[in-house]
Structure 1
Amino acid sequence: MWQCSLGLLLLLFLLTGQVALGARRGRWRRELAPGLHLSGIRDADGQYCKKQGMCCTGRIDDCSLPYLGTTCYCDSFCNRNVSDCCPDFWDTCLGVPPPFPPIQGCTHGDRIYPVFGTYWDNCNRCTCQEKRQWECDKEPCLVDPDMINAINQGDYGWQAGNHSAFWGMTLDEGIRYRLGTIRPSSSVMNMNEIYTVLAPGEVLPTAFEASEKWPNLIHEPLDQGNCAGSWAFSTAAVASDRVSIHSMGHMTPLLSPQNLLSCDTLHQQGCRGGHLDGAWWFLRRRGVVSDHCYPFSGREQAEAGPAPPCMMHSRAMGRGKRQATRRCPNSHTDANDIYQVTPAYRLGSDEKEIMKELMENGPVQALMEVHEDFFLYKGGIYSHTPLSMARPEQYRRHGTHSVKITGWGEETLPDGRTLKYWTAANSWGPSWGERGHFRILRGSNECDIESFVLGVWGRVGMEDMGHR
């Protein structure tokens, strides 16, 4: 019994000693902390103690404030040779000059940056120069707040906003990494058009949406990220819907853009751009698997090195059909069915021909020129604004893109004007535009969207009609 009590007393003594030692160590840590002014007061003119009305006597650890990633104190315990005082402790609480020369810097917003300190303002890097002046790069940014305000204050029929995924990118980067369809060669642009003839007296509806005629067969838009691969995304998107429609819903695949990006390498550049005719040739001759089987790898423009190797090949199995020779890159699925299409065909550029094709056979693929203001689209009926015409040339940029047209409609504006529009799915994710979609003026070839429109038939046999 005595030995047990003695052991308990000894244990309590040791624990008490460790707690006291821990407290002393905690106190010593603060006593020996490197002074903020020794490592460089980055906010020498900052009013911390003064703004909070704090000047504490003795040591009160709660008498502290966050300071640019660390902590500073306004109690008199900090007034030692090695100091962790707030920058204004000496003049605010003691009424004396600080014991260190204030570091020269630049005021920017609510912060002071030291000489040669840098700050990112959207896509531009700003540097504090020796004369305490900010010097910033002058790159046009993809998200342009001045243009957003000008569009929203004007009468352009659509609204602009900040798409957060574009913040910090330059306009040049947006054109280079967010589009990616190479304008077709003259021989492809001159391919014969298939003219659709309206029956005598046939009247097309004023509004149509593919998802209403074919519910559950029209797929939602994907996000190409900073991969310049709209050539693959728009092709896979149109083919997905067309295979689903033409199989009468027996097959409803969301086809894999990555299969095209990695495996369609003949005259194609993957995430650095590609040709629509080459993409359709590959879908016809080789076929692709579903996006679930071969998901998008999401390569970014900052990544160097070669494109991801092709992880899916196919072989002929008779009657023009093909089968996969490998398992899915996504190990969680075994469904590696190969989907193919018939040769793509070009439609006439008349809006009624495009409308009739869309209404009868499903969404179509369209080439379009993307201008600097399109990246800012938030909602409404888009048309390119002239706002950049008064600015230097580097603010006026455009590049070729491809999208999926899904329907059309009309809207009457408050001033009585009626605007006709197309509805289309982009490949910039569901948070851009109208849930990943946009509306654009119809009948006037806005941004060349009616100049090169393609349709295709899904390759569907009787044996596929029982397959899901």
Structure 2
Amino acid sequence: MWRCPSGLLLLLLLAGQGALGARRGRWRRELAPGLHLRGIRDAGGRYCQEQDMCCRGRADDCALPYLGATCYCDLFCNRTVSDCCPDFWDFCLGVPPPFPPIQGCEHGGRIYPVFGTYWDNCNRCTCQEKGQWECDQEPCLVDLDMINAINQGNYGWQAGNHSAFWGMTLDEGIRYRLGTIRPSSSVMNMNEIYTVLNPGEVLPAAFEASEKWPNLIHEPLDQGNCAGSWAFSTAAVASDRVSIHSLGHMTPVLSPQNLLSCDTHHQQGCRGGRLDGAWWFLRRRGVVSDHCYPFSGRERDEAGPAPPCMMHSRAMGRGKRQATARCPNSHVHANDIYQVTPAYRLGSNEQEIMKELMENGPVQALMEVHEDFFLYQGGIYSHTPVSLSRPEQYRRHGTHSVKITGWGEERLPDGRTLKYWTAANSWGPSWGERGHFRIVRGANECDIESFVLGVWGRVGMEDMGHH
């Protein structure tokens, strides 16, 4: 009868002495929030049991790492602050835990409540009531498996993660990063202007517009999440051609925003547009420089109307036009209107495109963009078959337009010679090869040679005067 309490007393004394002689670091433990306040997040876990640890009294080394914290298997864990391991009560004391385990899901060392979410690239994962994650299954624009498959596959180009695309779905990439509507059959059947090569004329193996016309070929802009490649590629080609045809007297970067906001006839701004309409507008109305009318950028899914047109022009005789408003930004005053002659279509023979490019400057080309083009980082692009083994929704494409600036050829390690075009995209300078890409030439890769346009800058003698 009498022995039992003394045993208990002894146990309490020992526990007390242990506490007195404890290292100073021990107070930390008493100040730590109880694990049960944050919730035992792993109610079924084996901790004390796994290590076969049940320490009598207080033993600070009777501890285990637990989801970014520490839990204990000594009797003291149950006294002051509960920092016991999840299976302490069950395994060491043989009693059910004094509180119900908190419901939730664990990810990356954090506990999320039921219906809590986190993003895995472009997919949202949601914590279900039974404590498991359920994630969307959308194909993402940046697909790491596809990047690896391309880089291991010897396709002649390298793939990588363009950070601006991370977190977007493939569907969003096609919807918001392209934006040229495939021309109607009547436009696709536009008469081609045949450029005739003289007998015996041989074009060089390589050519780059920026080498022939230094300082007149402009760097790529970034259309952001605006499906406006119809306006960006048109402004890009017109900028170079006005500069070349004025012999460098005018070197404007023309304003895509001017087209996006003001060319509204059958056009949809950042939701897509047509090349023939863009060239009609540049000829009949003209646009100002990008400095005068900068890109306002539209985020995807942004509700509300597109920004209104801030720049109109009126005729001033001899087909020339002048602006009827100041520049939409306060620090630029040069609101000259630039125009072009009617656009003309080239034959799809690579020699004719090359001759036109070499004589008159960069040209505009339509292209089909496939899921793997977004991943392009360098090399000579051609559409790869890597997504053929995957479900249908991983294979998507849409129509885009770009500026072809030159050509060349490259010997591959296996001895083949690959001919390519160089072209400027409108996804900013950090995509691809400094905003440019190379693509297989002479095989109508991704329809790049099927619809190619040129245009003349509208330049009068008075424009050639010294500014």
Deviates more, 1:135-144 or 1:178-187: 135-144
- Report the alpha carbon displacement of residue 83 of structure 1 after superposing the two structures with TM: 8.2
Q: Contact 2:41 / 2:106 at 8 angstroms: preserved in 1?
A: no
- Report the alpha carbon displacement of residue 132 of structure 1 after superposing the two structures with TM: 3.1
- Report the alpha carbon displacement of residue 103 of structure 1 after superposing the two structures with TM: 2.5
* Residue 9 (structure 1) aligns with: 9
Deviates more, 1:389-398 or 1:216-225: 389-398
Instruction: Name the CA shift for 1:458/1:2 in 2 (closer, same or farther; >3 Å).
Output: farther
Q: Contact 2:257 / 2:294 at 8 angstroms: preserved in 1?
A: yes
Q: Describe the superposition over 1:412-448 as per-residue Cα deviations: whole angstroms up to 9, x where unpaired.
A: 0000000000000000011110010000000000000
- Report the alpha carbon displacement of residue 137 of structure 1 after superposing the two structures with TM: 1.1
> Matched residues in 2 for 1:24 and 1:416: separation?
72
- Report the alpha carbon displacement of residue 108 of structure 1 after superposing the two structures with TM: 3.6
> Matched residues in 1 for 2:403 and 2:118: separation?
40
Normalized against structure 2, the TM-score is what? 0.83
- Report the alpha carbon displacement of residue 71 of structure 1 after superposing the two structures with TM: 13
Q: Contact 1:231 / 1:401 at 8 angstroms: preserved in 2?
A: yes
What is the aligned residue count?
467
- Report the alpha carbon displacement of residue 79 of structure 1 after superposing the two structures with TM: 9.2
Q: Contact 1:192 / 1:346 at 8 angstroms: preserved in 2?
A: yes
Q: Contact 2:11 / 2:57 at 8 angstroms: preserved in 1?
A: no
* Residue 365 (structure 1) aligns with: 364
Q: Describe the superposition over 1:92-123 as per-residue Cα deviations: whole angstroms up to 9, x where unpaired.
A: 99999986443344444444444433221111
> Matched residues in 1 for 2:294 and 2:24: separation?
53
> Matched residues in 2 for 1:367 and 1:185: separation?
13
- Report the alpha carbon displacement of residue 411 of structure 1 after superposing the two structures with TM: 0.4
SS class of match (1:25): coil
Deviates more, 1:85-94 or 1:393-402: 85-94
Q: Contact 2:420 / 2:441 at 8 angstroms: preserved in 1?
A: yes
* Residue 198 (structure 1) aligns with: 197
Q: Describe the superposition over 1:54-99 as per-residue Cα deviations: whole angstroms up to 9, x where unpaired.
A: 9999999999999999999999999997889999999999999986
SS class of match (2:22): helix
Q: Contact 1:350 / 1:450 at 8 angstroms: preserved in 2?
A: yes
Instruction: Name the CA shift for 1:5/1:166 in 2 (closer, same or farther; >3 Å).
Output: same
> Matched residues in 2 for 1:2 and 1:354: separation?
107
* Residue 460 (structure 1) aligns with: 459
Deviates more, 1:254-263 or 1:98-107: 98-107
Q: Describe the superposition over 1:301-339 as per-residue Cα deviations: whole angstroms up to 9, x where unpaired.
A: 131011000001111111111111111111111011100
Instruction: Name the CA shift for 1:360/1:107 in 2 (closer, same or farther; >3 Å).
Output: same
> Matched residues in 2 for 1:190 and 1:68: separation?
66
> Matched residues in 1 for 2:249 and 2:3: separation?
83
- Report the alpha carbon displacement of residue 51 of structure 1 after superposing the two structures with TM: 16
Instruction: Name the CA shift for 1:114/1:311 in 2 (closer, same or farther; >3 Å).
Output: same
Normalized against structure 1, the TM-score is what? 0.83
Q: Contact 1:42 / 1:113 at 8 angstroms: preserved in 2?
A: no
- Report the alpha carbon displacement of residue 129 of structure 1 after superposing the two structures with TM: 2.4
- Report the alpha carbon displacement of residue 224 of structure 1 after superposing the two structures with TM: 0.3
SS class of match (2:456): coil
> Matched residues in 2 for 1:267 and 1:168: separation?
32
Instruction: Name the CA shift for 1:464/1:106 in 2 (closer, same or farther; >3 Å).
Output: same
Q: Contact 1:65 / 1:72 at 8 angstroms: preserved in 2?
A: yes
- Report the alpha carbon displacement of residue 391 of structure 1 after superposing the two structures with TM: 1.3
Instruction: Name the CA shift for 1:10/1:162 in 2 (closer, same or farther; >3 Å).
Output: same
Instruction: Name the CA shift for 1:178/1:31 in 2 (closer, same or farther; >3 Å).
Output: same
Instruction: Name the CA shift for 1:249/1:38 in 2 (closer, same or farther; >3 Å).
Output: same
- Report the alpha carbon displacement of residue 155 of structure 1 after superposing the two structures with TM: 1.4
Instruction: Name the CA shift for 1:77/1:166 in 2 (closer, same or farther; >3 Å).
Output: farther
Q: Identity over the aligned pairs, expressed in percent?
A: 90
Q: Contact 2:378 / 2:433 at 8 angstroms: preserved in 1?
A: yes
Deviates more, 1:54-63 or 1:398-407: 54-63
Q: Describe the superposition over 1:357-378 as per-residue Cα deviations: whole angstroms up to 9, x where unpaired.
A: 0000000000000000000000
**1:350 and 2:337 correspond:** no
- Report the alpha carbon displacement of residue 135 of structure 1 after superposing the two structures with TM: 1.7
Q: Contact 1:44 / 1:112 at 8 angstroms: preserved in 2?
A: no
* Residue 71 (structure 1) aligns with: 70
Structure 1: tracts of 5 or more residues without a match: none
Q: Contact 1:43 / 1:111 at 8 angstroms: preserved in 2?
A: no
Q: Contact 1:349 / 1:450 at 8 angstroms: preserved in 2?
A: yes
Q: Contact 1:363 / 1:407 at 8 angstroms: preserved in 2?
A: yes
- Bigger Rg over Cα: 2
Structure 2: tracts of 5 or more residues without a match: none
Q: Contact 1:124 / 1:137 at 8 angstroms: preserved in 2?
A: yes
**1:299 and 2:321 correspond:** no
* Residue 79 (structure 2) aligns with: 80
Deviates more, 1:224-233 or 1:23-32: 23-32
Instruction: Name the CA shift for 1:154/1:84 in 2 (closer, same or farther; >3 Å).
Output: same
